[in-house]
Chain A
Amino acid sequence: MAIKWLIDASYFVAAVLFILGLKGMSSPVSARKGIIWAGVGMVLATVVTFLTPGMNNFALMVIAIAIGGALAWISGKKVAMTDMPQMVAIYNGMGGGAAAAIAAVEFARGEMHGTVVTLLATLGALIGAVSFSGSVIAWAKLQGVMKKAFRLPAQNAVNVVLALATLGLGAAIVIAPAIDPMLVGAFFILALVLGVIITLPIGGADMPVVISLFNAFTGLAVGFEGFVMGIPALIIAGIVVGAAGTLLTQLMAKAMNRPISNILFVPMAAAGAGEAVEGEQKEVGAMDAAAMMRYASKVIIVPGYGMAVAGAQHKVWEMSELLEEAGVEVVFAIHPVAGRMPGHMNVLLAEAGVPYEKIFDLEEINGDFAQADVALVIGANDVVNPSARTDKSSPIYGMPILNADLAQNVIVVKRGKGTGYSGIENALFYKDNTRLLYGSAQQAIGEVIQHVKAMSV
């Protein structure tokens, strides 16, 4: 009895710590404390669970925790900051898989108490399994294991038929008087295939929104399995994450001006290719680029994922410091979806040592471009494409963009003449006041640094 009380009280404390932890993460000042509180809650909940009366298989349990925990801990320590999104995706998928597996154990034991419990277990299993297989595909795409977005003929019809078939099997499980192993097996297989089929055609640029959606899915699945097992801590943690993840998904989709339904069902290319762009791209050398910035009074840097991939954020910050020493005001403008997740670019710049005060959001900075002498665009493309403001036929029309084109001069650091990740032509690259500095960000900025140094002596 006392043990039962201790366990319930610990779960309660853990739930409080989870909520306080998430709340702590809402401010940079308390964010680190927040994750530590949540971590304490997790350790507490895990440790007291060993005391649960009437449990067996402790050896298996310890081995599973040791293997799963150690592998994830080591991989999480080693991963580069640029690869963070796919790591979040894969850990999230594992949570979804765990929720589905819990439901599978309950089905195998065949002890469902009532229709509502069976319904919740089935829903949790469905959502968890979709989140698991979908997240694995998302990871494979971001990691580069799987290169192309893969689209079946009549993709949407296949999605709908598969989803209905899965739901039909799920309904059959709920209605059936006894658990039918064949039915349950087929249901899980279909749910896993559904996750794969939904995620395959989604382009890499939309991936952050999908990862966030699967994160919310896993939360819901965990919450539902919490109902099934009668553990309020699971319900609270799962549903809180489900709600938070849903809101975050909406925020991201809004920032990209791509409704979630579009991301899931309409491929980027089919949405229209946009008007052809007239003119030619005008090249600039590293020395001229250095001079333009060295003798400017204000430079706004627009970093994109291309900069992060090239690992150039440290070089960019080094250049900014040199320019500041020469009396140039340098600030960074971050688009909400720069990088691969909202805030990803902030993390990458923070890693390079750029202070907060130099980093501005879209709303804060967009009025300042007209006063800037130079806008330096590094490895960013769609987020500075003026077609989003002007060209109704462009697939990104209406997406809020950074108005880099309004600066006196624009320097674009770019690897080549291609259209980049999304395949959309960028009118900014052809403007009269735009100059292109070709090369990898790392090498191009490195050359600019040498020239700025030479001018300052």
Chain B
Amino acid sequence: MDGFVALYIFMLAAFTGYEVISRVPVILHTPLMSGSNFVHGVVLVGGMIALGQAETPLEQAIGFVAVLLGAANAAGGYVVTERMLAMFKSKEKN
């Protein structure tokens, strides 16, 4: 990837992250921390590609660990965030 394009992506993403959270009420900070924890679970995709390109047993072993941990990050992050937010949801119906 072109160096400066990457740098622009970095800069814009950083501002986006800052803006998105700056309007969040305190009551949602814990779910949001958990939700952002889920979002970086996309590291799973990187792990899959790393494992997909692995050739030696060592590379395969480390790649396997990367996918395992990435999948746990994504799945666990989703479940706990959804559980917390479900409580807020049921509140509104009342």
Q: Measuring CB to CB, which residues of chain A are less than 8 angstroms from any residue of chain B?
A: 11, 14, 18-19, 21-23, 25-29, 31-32, 34-36, 38-39, 41-42, 45-46, 49-50, 52, 54-58, 60-61, 63-73, 75-77, 79, 81, 84-85, 87-88, 90-92, 94-95, 97-99, 101-102, 104-106, 108-109, 116, 211-212, 215, 218-219, 222-223, 225-227, 229-248, 251-252, 334, 336, 339, 341-344, 346-347, 350-351, 355-356, 359, 361
Contacts and interface: CB of A to CB of B under 8 A. Distances in A.
B75 A69 contact: yes
Closest 6 CB pairs of A and B: A55-B52, A243-B17, A76-B79, A72-B76, A68-B71, A101-B66
A38 to B, nearest CB: 6
Interface string B39-57: 1111111111111111110
B93 to A, nearest CB: 11
A36 B24 CA distance: 18
A239 B16 CA distance: 9
B22 A343 contact: no
Contact of A64 (B3, B20, B71): B71
| Overall SS of chain B's interface | helix
B63 A60 contact: yes
Contacts of B37: 88, 91-92, 95, 215, 218, 241
A39 B85 CA distance: 13
Residue picked from A39, A225, A356, most chain B C-beta under 10 Å: A39
B40 A26 contact: no
Residue picked from B14, B27, B30, B94, most chain A C-beta under 10 Å: B30
Contacts of A225: 43, 46
A225 B47 CA distance: 10
B62 A341 contact: no
A238 B50 contact: no
B1 A219 contact: no
A25 B28 contact: yes
A28 B88 contact: yes
B81 to A, nearest CB: 5
Interface in B5-26: 6, 9-10, 13-18, 20-26
A359 B78 contact: no
Contacts of A18: 39, 42
Residue picked from B39, B51, B70, B88, most chain A C-beta under 10 Å: B39
A64 B9 CA distance: 30
Given A73-B79, A116-B3, A342 B42 contact: no
Contacts, number: 379
A237 to B, nearest CB: 5
30 contacts: A35-B78, A52-B48, A54-B52, A55-B52, A56-B55, A65-B71, A67-B71, A68-B67, A72-B73, A76-B83, A81-B83, A84-B84, A88-B37, A91-B77, A98-B70, A101-B66, A102-B46, A104-B62, A105-B53, A223-B10, A226-B46, A229-B46, A232-B9, A237-B39, A239-B14, A245-B36, A248-B32, A251-B29, A343-B32, A347-B87
A444 to B, nearest CB: 25
A105 B50 CA distance: 6
B34 A52 contact: no
B51 A60 contact: yes
Given A227-B1, A343-B31, A94 B63 contact: no
A60 B40 contact: no
Given A87-B76, A95-B70, A109-B53, A243 B47 contact: no
B48 to A, nearest CB: 5
Contact of B75 (A35, A76, A350): A76
Given A64-B51, A64-B64, A342-B30, A69 B71 contact: yes
Contacts of A84: 30, 34, 80, 84
B81 A244 contact: no
Contact of A241 (B23, B40, B74): B40
Given A65-B67, A72-B72, A248 B85 contact: no
A229 B50 contact: yes
